[in-house]
Amino acid sequence: MVSDAGTYSPVPLDLVERAPKVLLHDHLDGGLRPLTVVELAEETGYADLPSTDPDELARWFAAAAYSGSLERYLETFRHTVGVTQTADALRRVARECAEDLAADGVVYAEVRFAPELHLERGLDPHQVVEEVLAGFAEGQRLAAAAGHRIRVGVLLTAMRTATHSRQIAELSVEYRDRGVVGFDIAGAEAGFPPTRHLDAFEYLRRENAHFTIHAGEAFGLPSIWEALQWCGADRLGHGVRIVDDIEIGPDGEAHLGRLAAYVRDCRIPLEMCPSSNVQTGAADSIETHPIGLLRRLGFRVTVNTDNRLMSGTSMTHEMELLSAAFGYGLNDMQWFAINAMKSAFIPFDERLVIINDHIKPQFTALRAVLAERLTERI
């Protein structure tokens, strides 16, 4: 009966909430609590919020983000970045981020942010990084005290529309033994290919440093190809457009093009963010999201939130949506979690500890709980 419990769908919400989760793609400035945005605006004198009521503000973010355009989606960050220009604000949002993710069942997270966006009130990039790292350390301690175990690593992001990527790459190497685990570039894809930042990526490769690249979200296969074959990315941020290189024949068989085959064969992790992809137009709906096909074909797919405030989401919500759309059970959720943990930018032995001592035992326990419930129904 326990084996049946692993494939049973939809998974009851309370078990989805309790399931251990691994999150690789989450933006710090996209995950603020609405109340925190309001309070920080008042504290820092930021006067441009569309509403100072937390509930109304949350609805505004969700509505503004649901535009079908990545460019319009990114405009919402003007407000969250606007209220995080001080040391206290950065420390607070990092602390709350760790607490919120831990309460959502996340046992390991890599959270990214762009230091260059938080310099308007006199902070320098080093101060920005140190305040965020301190906030995450506080949040992890508070989460542990509340009975939730989480480890948070930081990805430093450079904006692909700017020219500071080499400096941010050097910063990520400088802090890699103090909580920073990797590097990323983000922002509008169209017109700003990854190769504009080739100097940063070549530097990181010389330094044996990890990096991921936003690619294949708003732009197609050329962006993915450049990220992998020119820049040498370890992972792809989103990567949903890899389906453009997959053809489904009349017999229902999938035929992979050379790039798609390379991504699958080399086990390139795909940091997929279902709700966000629907909002920005990268996918038409959750039900038709490429994650279903890619999971079936054995790509190394991971599930992520992207921006919890803008998408009004959480890891629990993303898993719940996928369970309903694709019939995923606890076994699938464990597969996603282990995929993500295998793909994390921390040492191999540390990844194994989280997989073997936390993820697998917790899913075994959840399957036993569900099996007992199913037995009681008979």
Catalytic annotation, residues: 217
> In sequence order, what are the beta bridge partners of 108?
22, 151
> In sequence order, what are the beta bridge partners of 152?
109
Q: How many other CB atoms are found less than 10 A from the CB of residue 298?
A: 10
Give the span between the Cα atoms of 33 and 38, in whole angstroms.
9
Six-digit token pair at 113? 């942010």
Burial class for 47, CB neighbours closer than 10 Å (0-12, 13-18, 19+): exposed
Longest CA–CA span in the chain (Å) reads 65
Q: Give the alpha-carbon dihedral of 341, 166, 28, 12, to 10 degrees.
A: -20
The DSSP line for 88-109 is HHHHHHHHHHHHHHHHTTEEEE
- What strands, in cross-sheet order, belong to the sheet with 212-215? 212-215, 235-238, 270-272, 301-303
Q: What is the per-residue burial (b if ≥16 Cβ within 10 Å, else e) of 109-133?
A: bbbbbbbbbbeeeebebeebbbbbb
Beta strands in 64-179 (DSSP E): 106-113, 151-159
Of 211, 222, 107, the closest CA to residue 168 belongs to 211
- What strands, in cross-sheet order, belong to the sheet with 21-27? 21-27, 106-113, 151-159, 180-186
